[in-house]
Amino acid sequence: MSRVLAYCGFQHHPDISLPATGVQGSPVQAIDSGALRLLWSPVEWPFDPANMQQHAVEFHGAVSHIFKQTAVIPFRLLSVLDDHTALTSLIAENQQNFLHDLERLKNFVQMEYVIYPAPGVMQANRSSGTAYLQQKATALRSAEAFVNNMSQAIEHLCSEVRVREAKNGTRCFALVERGREDEFRQAISSVPIPEHLSRRMSGPWPAAEFLSEPVRSPQITPMAGAN
Please return the burial class of 20, using the count of CB atoms within 10 Å of its CB with bins 0-12, 13-18 and 19+. Answer: exposed
Whether residue 215 is contained in a domain is answered as: no
Short-list 72, 86, 68, CA closest to 3: 86
Q: How far is CA 100 from the centre of its chain?
A: 19
- Whether residues 196 and 164 fall in one domain: yes
- Whether residues 87 and 145 fall in one domain: no
| Tens digits of pLDDT across the chain (227 residues) | 899 999 999 999 999 999 999 999 999 999 999 999 999 999 999 999 999 999 999 999 999 999 999 999 999 888 899 999 999 999 999 999 999 999 999 999 999 999 988 776 555 555 567 776 776 676 677 778 888 999 999 999 999 999 998 887 899 999 999 999 999 999 999 999 888 788 999 999 999 999 999 998 665 544 434 44
Whether residue 185 is contained in a domain is answered as: yes
Short-list 91, 54, 55, CA closest to 73: 91
What residues make up the domain containing 145? 108-208
Q: How many other β-carbons are positioned within 10 Å of the β-carbon of residue 1?
A: 6
Tell me the pairing of strands 73-81 and 2-11. Answer: antiparallel
Question: What is the count of structural domains for the chain?
Answer: 2
Q: How far is CA 49 from the centre of its chain?
A: 23
Euclidean distance between CA atoms 152 and 92, whole angstroms? 41
pTM here is 0.87
- Whether residues 129 and 162 fall in one domain: yes
Residue 46: DSSP 8-state: S
- Whether residues 114 and 99 fall in one domain: no
Give the helix/strand (H/E) hosting 223. Answer: none
pLDDT of residue 168: 77
Three-class secondary structure of residue 218 per DSSP = coil
One-letter identity of residue 162: R
- Whether residues 114 and 79 fall in one domain: no
* Residue 91 near residue 38, CB atoms below 8 Å: yes
- Whether residues 100 and 166 fall in one domain: no
> Residues in the chain, how many?
227
Please return the burial class of 200, using the count of CB atoms within 10 Å of its CB with bins 0-12, 13-18 and 19+. Answer: exposed
Whether residue 204 is contained in a domain is answered as: yes
- Whether residues 115 and 191 fall in one domain: yes
* Residue 31 near residue 90, CB atoms below 8 Å: no
Strands (E), the chain: 2-11, 29-33, 36-44, 73-81, 108-117, 158-166, 169-177, 197-205
CATH number of the domain residue 198 falls in: 3.30.70.260
Q: How many other β-carbons are positioned within 10 Å of the β-carbon of residue 169?
A: 18
- Whether residues 126 and 200 fall in one domain: yes
* Residue 7 near residue 32, CB atoms below 8 Å: no
- Whether residues 113 and 39 fall in one domain: no
- Whether residues 74 and 117 fall in one domain: no
pLDDT of residue 167: 80
